[in-house]
């Protein structure tokens, strides 16, 4: 999520901490968008209006700057490549309907995964238990055979609640996903 970029945007524009994140992703409009309902343009416009309301002044489109900063984490992409084919790998993302096209077109990462579950396409989002079960089912493995990685503790807790092992991974806090997975016995084949 490039939390560092969001924090820097907050700081650079003298906004309270987490303003960019909260006005974009902690709203009823986002709850609809991530489940495939609502108008994405209206959601982004509403997030910008709320950010300006909080700041009391006109601002540039900070949410768009943050979204443009979202890039693949190369160390994690390399790790996924190293884990394949010994492990089945999937993306489970709370995202709007644009994610699949971005993974296929811009990022060209879709072929690294056995499946991609996008909340807006399936009509439900993390941390609902059903979406974790759906992801496991689509991979053809029981939840107990899955390791779920996320940058939000509530999602990790929810995955554990359905029987998955969970890893809280935050790049901005220096977490090393390879080491975190190795603790659980998930290592690339030699």
Domain that holds residue 14: 3-69
Digit-coded pLDDT (tens) for 105-162: 988 999 999 999 999 999 999 999 999 999 999 999 999 999 999 999 999 999 999 9
Does residue 83 register a pLDDT over 90? yes
Does residue 69 register a pLDDT over 90? no
State the alpha helices, DSSP H only, in 56-98.
Answer: 62-69, 74-83
Q: Do 86 and 163 belong to one domain?
A: yes
Per-residue confidence (pLDDT) for residue 136, from 0 to 100: 98
Digit-coded pLDDT (tens) for 18-52: 999 999 999 999 999 999 999 999 999 999 999 99
Per-residue confidence (pLDDT) for residue 106, from 0 to 100: 86
Per-residue confidence (pLDDT) for residue 107, from 0 to 100: 85
Strand partners, 147: 165
- Total domain count, the chain: 2
Answer whether residue 53 is part of any domain: yes
Q: Do 105 and 157 belong to one domain?
A: yes
Calpha distance 174→185 (Å, rounded): 20
**The domain that contains 107 carries what CATH number?**
3.40.50.1000
| Stronger pLDDT, 5 or 120, i.e. the higher one | 120
Q: Do 91 and 171 belong to one domain?
A: yes
| Sequence-distant (≥ 6) Cβ neighbours of residue 5 within 8 angstroms | 65, 66, 69
Does residue 190 register a pLDDT over 80? no
Q: Do 36 and 94 belong to one domain?
A: no
Q: Do 129 and 61 belong to one domain?
A: no
Q: Do 23 and 95 belong to one domain?
A: no
Q: Do 54 and 116 belong to one domain?
A: no
Per-residue confidence (pLDDT) for residue 35, from 0 to 100: 97
Q: Do 60 and 141 belong to one domain?
A: no
Dump the DSSP string for 117-174.
EEHHHHT--TT-HHHHHHHHHHHTS-GGG-EEEESSHHHHHHHHHTT-EEEE--GGGT
Answer whether residue 27 is part of any domain: yes
Q: Do 126 and 48 belong to one domain?
A: no
Q: Do 87 and 27 belong to one domain?
A: no
Does residue 173 register a pLDDT over 90? no
Model's pTM, two decimal places?
0.90
Q: Do 52 and 87 belong to one domain?
A: no
**The domain that contains 58 carries what CATH number?**
1.10.150
């Amino acid at each position: 999520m490039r939390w560092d970029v969001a924090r820097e945007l907050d700081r650079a524009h003298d906004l309270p901490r987490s303003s960019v994140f909260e006005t974009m992703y902690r709203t009823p409009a986002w709850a609809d968008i991530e489940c495939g309902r609502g108008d994405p343009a209206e959601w982004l416009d509403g997030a910008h209006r709320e950010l300006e309301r909080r700041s009391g002044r006109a601002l540039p489109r900070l949410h768009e700057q943050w979204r443009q900063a979202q890039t693949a984490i190369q160390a994690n992409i390399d790790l996924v490549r190293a884990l394949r084919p010994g492990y089945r790998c999937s993306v489970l993302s709370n995202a709007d309907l644009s994610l699949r096209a971005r993974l296929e077109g811009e990022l060209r990462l879709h072929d690294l995964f056995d499946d991609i579950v996008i909340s807006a396409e399936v009509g439900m989002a993390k941390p609902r238990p059903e979406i974790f079960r759906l992801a496991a089912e689509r991979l053809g493995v029981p939840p107990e055979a899955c390791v779920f990685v996320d940058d939000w503790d509530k999602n990790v807790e929810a995955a554990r609640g359905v029987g998955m092992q969970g890893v809280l991974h935050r790049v901005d806090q220096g977490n090393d996903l390879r080491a975190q997975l190795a603790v659980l016995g998930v290592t690339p084949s030699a």
